[in-house]
Amino acid sequence: MLKQVSIYAENRKGTMQDITGILAEGGINILGSVTNDSAEYGIVRMVVSDPDAAVSVLTRAGYICRLTDVLGVEVTDEVGNLNHLLMALNESNINVNYLYLSFNRASGKPIMVFHTDSTYEVAECLRAKGFTLC
């Protein structure tokens, strides 16, 4: 199980650089991220090396943050592997709310990070189907 940091940020020039600068100053590595924006605000979702520290330094800087459980599934870098994962989830009637890519620095393999409503149950389901979770 991974902890994701969700950062609620104003959609303005320099915001991402501010966030990444704060994390860099805190010695926190960004392992994967996705940004969803609207006209005024956005949500930056990140898997980082130290989620609790990230929330702490970003909150002190005035950002609204929260931690969320997400799943990371290691896949082989081959055509169709994301589809294979999504088919397995669909066959088990599991909805994916959103997903993004990271990678396993040790193995060099991609990791699909995703959020679902029943994280623990989905993790067990995927393990039973032979998937490698991070």
Q: Based on the number of CB atoms within 10 Å of its own CB, is 34 exposed (0-12), middle (13-18) or buried (19 or more)?
A: middle
The rounded mean pLDDT for the chain is: 92
- Average pLDDT score over residue span 121-127: 92
Q: Are 97 and 116 in contact (CB under 8 A)?
A: yes
Q: Which residue in the block uniquely carries the two structure tokens 């002190």?
A: 60
What's the pLDDT tens digit per position in 14-67?
A: 999 999 999 999 999 999 999 887 777 889 999 999 999 999 999 999 999 999
Measured between alpha carbons, how far is 53 from 72 in angstroms, rounded to an integer? 20
Q: Are 6 and 19 in contact (CB under 8 A)?
A: no
Measured between alpha carbons, how far is 90 from 4 in angstroms, rounded to an integer? 23
Q: Exposure string (b/e) for 45-82, b if CB count within 10 Å is 16 or more?
A: bbbbebbeebbebbeeeebebeeeebbbbbbeeeeebe
> Phi then psi for 36, rounded to 5 degrees?
-120, 125
Measured between alpha carbons, how far is 80 from 65 in angstroms, rounded to an integer? 34
Q: What is the pTM of this model?
A: 0.86
Q: How confident is the model at residue 127 (pLDDT cuts 50, 70, 90)?
A: very high
CATH architecture label of 2-67: 2-Layer Sandwich (3.30)
**Cβ-based neighbours of 9, under 8 Å, separated by 6 or more:** 15, 16, 19, 41, 42, 43, 44, 63
Domain range list for the chain: 2-67, 70-133
Are domains 2-67 and 70-133 of this chain identical in fold? no
Q: How confident is the model at residue 122 (pLDDT cuts 50, 70, 90)?
A: very high
Instruction: Assign a CATH topology to domain 70-133.
Output: Alpha-Beta Plaits (3.30.70)
Q: Given a cut of 80, is residue 109 above it in pLDDT?
A: yes
